[in-house]
Amino acid sequence: MAAAIWTSNFRLGKIIPVLFILATLPHQFCSGLIAPVTKKSGDEVALKPLNHPGNKYDLDDMIDQVKIDTGHSKIHKVDLVSDEYKFVIRLEIPSGTLDPEMISKTRKMVAAKLDVAEENVRISHVDITDSSIEMYVVYTALDSLQRMQGVNVLIPASQVLPHLTPKELESYNRNIPIKSISGKIETKDEAARQVLADAKMWKVFQKQIWETWQLPFLIASTLIFVLVLVVVFLFLCFRQQIDKKLADEEQTKHMCVFPDVKPCIKNTDPVQPDGATVYMSEDDLKVIKTEPLRVRAKGLLERRGSNTSLTIELNPSPESSITYSSPSRESNCEEFLLSAGNRMSRKQLRGCIKDVKTLHNEFWDIPMNHPDKVEVAGSGTKNRYKTIIPNDLTRVKLPENPNDSLSTYINANYIRGYDSEENAYIAAQGPMVHTIEDFWLMVWQEKSPMIIMITKLKEKNKIKCEPYIPNVRATYGAIEVTTTKVSPREGYTVRDLFLRNGNQCHQVQHFWFTAWPDHKTPATPKQLVAMAVEVESHRCDNNGRSCGPIVIHCSAGIGRTGCFIAISIGMQQLMEENMLDVLGIVCAMRLDRGGMIQTAEQYEFVHRALIDFDRSLPEVAGD
């Protein structure tokens, strides 16, 4: 109810009907379907509504009054109950042989099967010729508003018959053969479902409720509920105004100021002797101490494949100065990626996470190294994201098909492993509908022993990856894939796959990590570290040689994929050297595939994961 009111922006026209329904609940529940009986003159009995004045709500007067006439073929009983509560049991015995002993035994069998007292199973009619017994069932409830008197409630035949079958009844007494069990008439489903519910609610919602303590409680509860709705409404309005005010202040803060005065070009001196001659005045060479201006530019991207806006530093920081001797880092991306590094001891690793701001600044200094284009014409149709394309030097190339100009193209790159191990990993985008066959062809061509999937099929109602793993068996192009085993783990699932291409076979393990939340990093790295340890244990054969490149993919193949590869390489580096260089690892990955590890939060998460792994290693003297 609360959710419905919130989504309608708390309009008064939506709240008033809800309060009206709450106020009328007692009257709705008091109009039940149960109809206790009272006697009239003679043997005639009439049904009276529950809210009839003077009703004692007692069915104990409906006792078995059987008139037996040996000169006739039938035993008659006063009919007190509506046919919708009656059911008929026919015995498989010769006509005319039904006697009171059989009737009593049948009654006991029904009571035992329904687990009620024998007196609650009552007989309304017996037909000796047809060997049938007509019955109905009541149960006794206590009415607290009537001084704990017993209230006998009729149970509809539609609720009794599902619990009675001839075989089940015969199991209680083999000497009484049951032929059939049926209802006297068809009952309305709605009445059958409501009769017991109304009987239970009778003790709460009765006309005397307005004379008891429930009325003040009901009024107080309604007032509290309305008060809570008003408070929530006011809070949301106040919050909206605050957010709007902060947004206006943020927009005002991000302004760009340009100088109005043109620089003087008199008394010029050359300042760049190694390049093209550029003349500047002496006044222009003065370093102006100003605060950096940052512009929030709409439409630009902080990282490719995201919707985050870009922060651009227009003016240099106060600490910076003009440098004339060396080119900028942006103009020499490859040189930076080849030379940058930050080796840390295990102790330094555990301490670096205390200064998250420095860690984030270190990440943003790394060039993305995104390629501008791919040499394969028309390959854009096989890219999930337009701006995420493979670096050409390390691109995985599929077998060439003369009839298909795009047959060799797949959005994937070889990534070097620890100690510059060639082709240790393959970073790929998540398969698309028309690239699933290419994906399996790549796995077959590279004889990859494992596939690591770190994405859900759909996140935030957006398709991130197409389902490419069969539940049992499927064929993709010339490759038949069969799932032979599924092993759930904490946070991920391992599947054993069997690949067949003609007469050749290949086995692959598929690791599907599903514990990565949408648009953020996991709260704890333990599950991902556990999967990385398991993957590393199967990466090499008994002789320590690699079994082939491990295929890792998320959606774009750079963010979560880069995190996993960096963690795997970092684990090997910690075990071999007792040292770690995450900055160098990321730079090496971006040389092979641009944009590996997309955000500073992911870069921080890699450090936290390796700290978690480091705690599992034995301590080294002096560390």
| Residue 559 assigned to a binding site | yes
- Stretch 123-142: mean pLDDT, rounded? 83
Q: What is the band of 541 on the pLDDT scale with cuts at 50, 70, 90? A: confident
d(CA 541, CA 450) in angstroms, rounded, equals 13
Domain residue limits, the chain: 83-183, 344-615
610 or 118, higher pLDDT: 610
How many percent of the chain have pLDDT more than 70? Answer: 66
- Stretch 272-276: mean pLDDT, rounded? 42
CA separation, residue 289 to residues 253, 286, 369 (Å): 19, 9, 32
498: pLDDT strictly greater than 60: yes
| Residue 104 assigned to a binding site | no
430: Cα separation from own chain's centroid: 20
Catalytic residue numbers read 554
530: pLDDT strictly greater than 80: yes
Give first-to-last CA distance, the chain, whole Å.
60
The one-letter amino acid code at 436 reads I
Q: How do residues 369-381 score in pLDDT, each as one tens digit?
A: 999 888 888 999 9
Query: From the CA atom positions of the chain, what is the Rg in Å?
Result: 41
> Tokens standing for 130?
């047809």
The per-residue b/e assignment along 49-88, b for 16 or more CB within 10 angstroms, e otherwise, is ebeeeeeebbbeebeeeeeeeeeeeebeebebbbbbbbbb
Residue 567: per-residue pLDDT: 97
Residue 150: per-residue pLDDT: 56
Does residue 528 contact residue 522 with C-beta atoms inside 8 Å?
Answer: yes
Residue 509: per-residue pLDDT: 96
| Residue 518 assigned to a binding site | yes
CA angle 181, 64, 125 (to 5 degrees): 40
Q: How do residues 397-436 score in pLDDT, each as one tens digit?
A: 999 999 999 999 999 999 999 999 999 999 999 999 999 9
d(CA 518, CA 178) in angstroms, rounded, equals 62
Q: What is the band of 174 on the pLDDT scale with cuts at 50, 70, 90? A: confident
Output the average pLDDT for the chain: 76
Residue 519: per-residue pLDDT: 76
For domain 83-183, the CATH class is alpha beta
Question: Mean pLDDT: which of 117-121, 189-193, 285-289 is highest?
Answer: 117-121
Q: What is the band of 279 on the pLDDT scale with cuts at 50, 70, 90? A: very low
Instruction: Report the helix count and the strand count for the chain, using DSSP H and E.
Output: 16, 26
Residue 243: per-residue pLDDT: 83
Which long-range contacts does 368-373 make (Cβ < 8 Å, 24+ apart)? Answer: 368/303, 368/304, 368/590, 368/594, 368/595, 369/333, 369/334, 369/337, 369/590, 369/591, 369/594, 369/595, 370/304, 370/594, 370/595, 371/594
Does residue 394 contact residue 595 with C-beta atoms inside 8 Å?
Answer: no
**SS3 for 152?**
strand
Q: What is the band of 316 on the pLDDT scale with cuts at 50, 70, 90? A: very low
* CATH topology (fold) of 344-615: Protein-Tyrosine Phosphatase; Chain A (3.90.190)
Does residue 256 contact residue 293 with C-beta atoms inside 8 Å?
Answer: yes
| Residue 557 assigned to a binding site | yes
| Residue 122 assigned to a binding site | no
Q: How do residues 580-611 score in pLDDT, each as one tens digit?
A: 999 999 999 999 999 999 999 999 999 999 99
- Stretch 218-237: mean pLDDT, rounded? 92
**SS3 for 415?**
strand
Any idea which of 170-174, 309-313, 372-376, 571-575 has the lowest mean pLDDT? 309-313
323: pLDDT strictly greater than 90: no
142 or 296, higher pLDDT: 142
Q: What is the band of 54 on the pLDDT scale with cuts at 50, 70, 90? A: very low
Residue 608: per-residue pLDDT: 96
620: pLDDT strictly greater than 50: yes
Residue 619: per-residue pLDDT: 84
d(CA 243, CA 560) in angstroms, rounded, equals 32
302: pLDDT strictly greater than 50: no
562 or 166, higher pLDDT: 562
Q: What is the band of 233 on the pLDDT scale with cuts at 50, 70, 90? A: very high
Residue 60: per-residue pLDDT: 38
Residue 346: per-residue pLDDT: 93
516 or 17, higher pLDDT: 516
Does residue 474 contact residue 452 with C-beta atoms inside 8 Å?
Answer: no
Residue 545: per-residue pLDDT: 83
| Residue 489 assigned to a binding site | no
Residue 101: per-residue pLDDT: 87
Residue 58: per-residue pLDDT: 35
Question: Mean pLDDT: which of 248-257, 262-271, 459-468 is highest?
Answer: 459-468
> Tokens standing for 537?
């244990």
- Stretch 262-285: mean pLDDT, rounded? 45
Does residue 429 contact residue 450 with C-beta atoms inside 8 Å?
Answer: no
| Residue 32 assigned to a binding site | no
The one-letter amino acid code at 347 reads K
Number of Cβ within a 10 Å radius of residue 178: 19
In 230-366 the beta strands, taken as DSSP E runs, fall at: 269-270, 279-280, 294-297, 310-313, 344-345
Q: Are strands 462-463 and 473-476 parallel, antiparallel or unpaired?
A: unpaired
Contacts of 115 (CB under 8 A, 6+ apart): none
- pTM: predicted TM-score of the whole model, two decimal places: 0.51
